[in-house]
Amino acid sequence: MLAARFAILPITIAALNVQALQSLDESQLSDVTGEGIGAAFEDFSLFTKLPNSPESGELTLILDDKYTTDTSDDDAFVISDIRVHRADFVYSSDADFSTAGGAFGSAAFPVKMGDLVQVNSVLEDGEGRPEFTYTALRTQFPGGDLTPADIEANPFILDQLSDKFDMSLRVDSVIGSRPEGEKRRFDFSLGLEGFRFYGFQQDIWSIPYYGIATSSTIGLKADAIVIGGDPNGALSGNVSLNDVDIYLPNGSADQPIVISTVDVGGKEQVQFEMLPLTKDIAAARGSDYPVGHVRIKSIHFGDPRDPDLRTAIKPGGDPQNPEDYYYAFQPEFGNTVEIEGINIQHLRITTQDI
């Protein structure tokens, strides 16, 4: 079930800063060239399966169909029970799902689709101009132009981008060669709690020889990323990454991500490659070129208040209050993880049948 109310906001290719966004009437729209579409979702939620609903709502990714007409021996990943809703909505069999939606985007910070932009090389020719320029199709989530520096300067700007959302899903693997009754197994569940995107955008263009080329930036702030290891949802099987901030620039005009096919063991496979970063490109980028980071305030294992994980009661604590205990694998002041200055030199991913 997908529920969304949204407003369409016309934007122009020349006006990429949010202050220049403006509403146009029908006569003005006919005079605009190269414009994209801005959308502000006022009431967005997504459920592939509702409680007590008979339909499965599954997304199946076939890894190897074994070249047979019978699907029983296929190898696949199955993604199911996908839920996206406002963070303070409580999912249950008696919940009012008409209240699950949240705001995603605004007039100032819309979802942008169909913008045509120029992506330029940082290398210059003999006259000081970019060595090459391509026209790219750009897609942005709300606040796609924002950088970590913008967020640090004004953390409250996140409130203008969207409500906080929760997302969860379940992943099972189906391997045809497994014994009957064990072909499908639970792998893990994944949950994003209280998340917002920022700086999230993607450009797509075409280059000689490779064809499709892309670059993207992924920015995410979340209260927690929870990886579940118990098919019944027991909290004891969870790993929680708390207070997460991820910002990852992936590719550029000079070092794009390209998509191609290669022969692997006699089978044609899809290959994603971020082209190598040369010394000339690295030098031309300079020291202020955007780099990525991953910041995690703390990592918790198991149920945050599992009595079996208690190590001691705090001085003067109330034995009846779970908050007055210390817990193993859950440091009181966090076990911070910070990875700064992420810059990918070369990356190649090739699909492989299993």
Tell me the C-alpha distance between 167 and 192, whole Å.
5
Structure tokens at 82: 């996908």
Instruction: Write down the pLDDT at residue 46.
Output: 94
Instruction: Write down the pLDDT at residue 15.
Output: 32
Confidence of residue 89 (pLDDT cuts 50, 70, 90): very high
Instruction: Write down the pLDDT at residue 16.
Output: 32
pLDDT digits (tens, 9 = 90+) for 284-336: 998 888 899 999 998 888 887 888 888 999 999 999 999 899 888 777 766 78
* Mean pLDDT score across all residues of the chain: 86
Helix/strand/coil for 39: strand
Cβ–Cβ under 8 Å, residues 151 and 220? no
Cβ–Cβ under 8 Å, residues 2 and 43? no
Cα angle vertex 225, ends 224, 229, to 5°?
Answer: 130
Confidence of residue 262 (pLDDT cuts 50, 70, 90): confident
First-to-last C-alpha distance (Å) of the chain: 33
pLDDT value at 6 more than 80: no
Cβ–Cβ under 8 Å, residues 131 and 119? no
pLDDT digits (tens, 9 = 90+) for 23-68: 544 444 334 345 688 999 999 999 998 887 777 788 988 877 777 7
pLDDT digits (tens, 9 = 90+) for 237-255: 899 999 999 999 999 999 9
